[in-house]
Amino acid sequence: MELCRLGRELAEAAFAPLDPREAQYSMTVETYAAILAELKPKFIHHPKAKACIQGILREAGCDLEQTYFDVPRMRTSTAGGYLTTGIAYAFHPHRDTWYSAPMCQLNWWLPIYELESDNAMAFHPRYWTQPIRNGSDGYNYQEWVRTSRFVAAQQIKTDTRKQPQAEAAIELEPQTRVITPPGGLLIFSAAHLHSSVPNTARQTRFSIDFRTIHLGDVLTNQGAPNLDSACTGTTLGDYLRGSDLAHVPEEIIARYL
């Protein structure tokens, strides 16, 4: 709840005097994207955000010497297709493992404001054991960081950045949408197929997510089965140790490059 309060305070200050959930109806999409371009990095780098993550992991019973996390990110899903590219990218059905995530990665996700089924996140359990033809073989995380990550705010009308997508038809049903109160925490595998629900509610969805790995799993290559991920590179360099914010040792990262 403390992490949600931080996200809410920063969002409400950024969009003041407007309600962040309704602000899209009062400004141009370019102005909206410019606000997000300042708000989201401010949240990511806020020192209180990392402290909240450490507290969450501690409360969840994680071993902070073995558990590493990446910085929490604020996500927005605007209503009616107002902004779905770049800084507010609407994720199609995907596995995080298509984006160079380690197979042992866990995703932690929580809404900042009240959530509805019409602006939630969907899980697609049929594909948790079924491979999908996809474009992950053309993705390298280190190359993405070098060329694409920092131009997100410029991708307003269309998103020209190359990202892995399914290259075969996806049957979206059956799907599961878990509706939690603000601060309600979802934890799922990076290998689980999931997507952003097209927001047909009136309000913008604001959420927070971060990811964790256990160093023992990394060292022994434990994790979900790799059904269809063929990307290269690794996100391991982004992770911070829960106890003291130290990075994953370079020699361990090198095993995954």
User: Tokens standing for 44?
Assistant: 């990511």
What φ, ψ does residue 189 adopt, rounded to 5°?
-75, 145
User: For residue 204, is it left (φ>0), alpha (ψ between -120 and 50) or beta?
Assistant: beta
The predicted structure's pLDDT at residue 231: 96
Q: What is the DSSP letter of 212?
A: E
Cβ count within 10 A of residue 244:
9
The predicted structure's pLDDT at residue 159: 46
Q: What is the pLDDT of residues 13-31, one digit of tens each?
A: 999 999 999 999 999 999 9
Hey, what domains does the chain have and what are their CATH numbers? 2-254 (2.60.120)
User: For residue 38, is it left (φ>0), alpha (ψ between -120 and 50) or beta?
Assistant: alpha
Owner of token pair 């491979």: 131
Q: Which of 227, 225, 224 has its CA nearest to residue 133?
A: 227
The predicted structure's pLDDT at residue 213: 98
The predicted structure's pLDDT at residue 158: 52
Residue 117 one-letter amino acid: S
Contact 207/159 with Cβ under 8 angstroms?
Answer: no
User: Tokens standing for 218?
Assistant: 């990394």
Q: Is the pLDDT of residue 90 over 70?
A: no
pLDDT band of residue 149 (cuts 50, 70, 90) is low
Angle at 72 between CA 83 and CA 257, to 5 degrees: 100
The predicted structure's pLDDT at residue 155: 40
| Dihedral angle over CA of 82, 205, 198, 106, nearest 10 | 130
Name, in order, each residue with C-beta under 8 angstroms of 59's C-beta and a sequence gap of 6 or more: none
What three-state secondary structure class fits 88?
helix
Q: Which residues pair with 77 in a beta bridge?
A: 205
Owner of token pair 């939690």: 180
Q: How far is CA 225 from the centre of its chain?
A: 21
Q: Is the pLDDT of residue 153 over 60?
A: no
What φ, ψ does residue 142 adopt, rounded to 5°?
-60, -35
